Amino acid sequence: MILTFGEFQLDVDHFELRRNGQLCKAEPKVFDLLVHFAGNPGQVFSREDLIAAVWQGRVVSDATVATCIKSARKLLGDSGQSQHYILTVRGRGFRFAADVAAADDRAAADSKKPAAASAHRSFVPALLVLPFRTLSDDSDATGLADGVSSGLSTILTRIPLLRLSNQAVRYGDKDITPSARALYENTGVDYVLEGRLLSHDGGYHLNVQLVEARSGFQLWGEQFVVAGPAATAVNRVVTAVLAKLEPQLHRAIYNTVRTAGCEPGAQELFLEASSILALKGWHPESFTTAAGLLRRSCRLAPDFALAQSYLALVVGLGNRIGLIGNREKSRVEALAAAERALALDSMDSTVLGFAGCAMADIGYAERAVPILRNAVEINPANAQAWAALGSACLLTQRVEEAVRHLTHGIEISPLDSRLSVWGALLAVALIQSKDLDSALHRAELACQRDHRNYIPRVVVAGIHLLKGDHASARRALDDACRIMPDLESTQVIPLLGETLGGRLLKIR
């Protein structure tokens, strides 16, 4: 069957897209998306509809759908602003606007049959970010409030599986916002984020709170002091709020999954694993637990790319820094999981970030660098991918890039235990750039981020040794051994290298 619209011809049987007879290269899922749209012209499809039809209900993120739509529009000459074929229907989804002619009417009719719904639906957390309000007619304050709530809505998509409700526009012009419970009943969201901005001494106070929609309980709240001018404060405020908010969202999701009272599905197992590492830190027991949960998730849903890629990261990083035993077996497992994840979904920034990080950690850093560059190009807010890119650059002796990317990844990250490892890697990069004072500052800050992590303490010991302070080096190493009593060369050498690591082990 050939579907024709405008200058384009979709050859469904031969998987070809042509424009005025010239072959256009289309990724498989982009092609499938175009076939679905062209086979159902004029119909409006939500993201959930597209996932059911194009991905056959397989678990994919909103970012994957958005990237696929962006690629399809690019092939057709559309963009986010100029839409001739794939139109965004505000608050509803997407519609294919072209007139389509089908060479085979029977086949075209078959293509219009609704896709079967997924047989099993797991818990997918949903968040509604309400438009932040101001208590004055100050236009600068209004612009700041709108910018912060909009920025948060955009960047929070980096949390895997978290869905951001598009219903916020319904409440922007209302003087009184419905209660959290009413929002739960009207939109089905699990959590609501709201904020109020007040002018104060030439600046502003921003009060933000996260509420569980079903119960109406406040899960977290904090006040942020914002210095003026408002026009230059948006990005700074968004980063400050995200740093405090993301760990609270992980905690809320973890508690919801843990108290569900039923057998967890693939998504719940993934959410539990990612929340454990975010909340409890990167330690042998948390890595072992997370890896076990992710293996179960992959067995339940072999095509779940996020679980495959995160399993690769956990096992690969655990291999690199000695948190998981049987190094050769874990290396093989990490590579297989990363390869499968990339084969399943090469358009999701989170999948690319996890898989690329794993490949760098198990010895394929040169291959990992372009994968991670692609991840941050797709989603510049992906802090994990920035940090992983910095780590890969460090392994490939691109020291200046490593410092730059790790610094940026840390700056846009939540204030959770990941900063302990990322800060330690940044300190190692600064050691290689001969900036020992900055390296010591970063390593000591990394120690503060997680009191149970030996990695930054090993780095602190190495820096003191380089500075000639053997007593401080021994104290830092003793602190690392307190956390990891059986600390050995497999944990130290990958961090500090053969020369410095060997010197440090001699003073133990």
What string of pLDDT tens digits covers the 508 residues of the chain?
A: 788 888 888 888 778 888 877 888 888 888 889 989 988 888 888 888 888 888 876 777 778 888 888 888 888 888 766 778 888 887 788 888 888 887 654 444 444 444 433 334 467 889 999 999 887 777 888 888 999 999 998 899 888 888 888 777 677 665 667 888 888 888 888 999 999 998 887 788 999 999 999 889 999 999 999 887 777 888 889 999 999 999 999 999 988 888 776 788 888 899 999 988 888 877 788 888 999 999 999 999 999 999 999 999 999 988 887 776 677 888 999 999 999 999 999 999 999 999 999 999 999 999 999 999 999 999 999 999 999 999 999 999 999 999 999 999 999 988 888 899 999 999 999 999 999 999 999 999 999 988 888 999 999 999 999 999 999 999 999 999 998 888 888 889 888 999 999 999 988 7
What does the pLDDT read at residue 402?
97
Q: How far apart are CA 298 and CA 270, in angstroms?
A: 9
Which residue in the block uniquely carries the two structure tokens 């660098």?
Answer: 369
CATH fold for domain 2-110? Arc Repressor Mutant, subunit A (1.10.10)
What does the pLDDT read at residue 121?
43
- Among 248, 240, 262, 242, smallest CA distance to 219 is for 248
**Adjacency order of strands within the sheet including 86-89:** 44-45, 93-96, 86-89
Q: What CATH architecture applies to the domain 419-508?
A: Alpha Horseshoe (1.25)
Neighbours of 258 (CB within 10 A): 14
Q: Can you give the pTM of this predicted structure? A: 0.75
What does the pLDDT read at residue 120?
40
The answer, yes or no, to whether the previous bond of 229 is cis (omega within 30 of 0) is: yes
Longest dimension (CA), the chain: 83
Q: How far apart are CA 204 and CA 486, in angstroms?
A: 51
Kindly report, as residue ranges, where domains of CATH 1.25.40.10 are found in the chain.
263-413, 419-508
Q: Which CATH class is domain 126-258?
A: alpha beta
What does the pLDDT read at residue 220?
95
What does the pLDDT read at residue 175?
63
CATH fold for domain 263-413? 1.25.40
Kindly report, as residue ranges, where domains of CATH 1.10.10.10 are found in the chain.
2-110
- Among 125, 268, 143, 273, smallest CA distance to 193 is for 125
Kindly report, as residue ranges, where domains of CATH 3.40.50.11830 are found in the chain.
126-258
Enclosing H/E stretch for 5: strand 2-5
Cβ-proximal residues to 386 (8 Å cutoff; 6+ apart), any chain: 376, 405, 406, 408, 409, 412
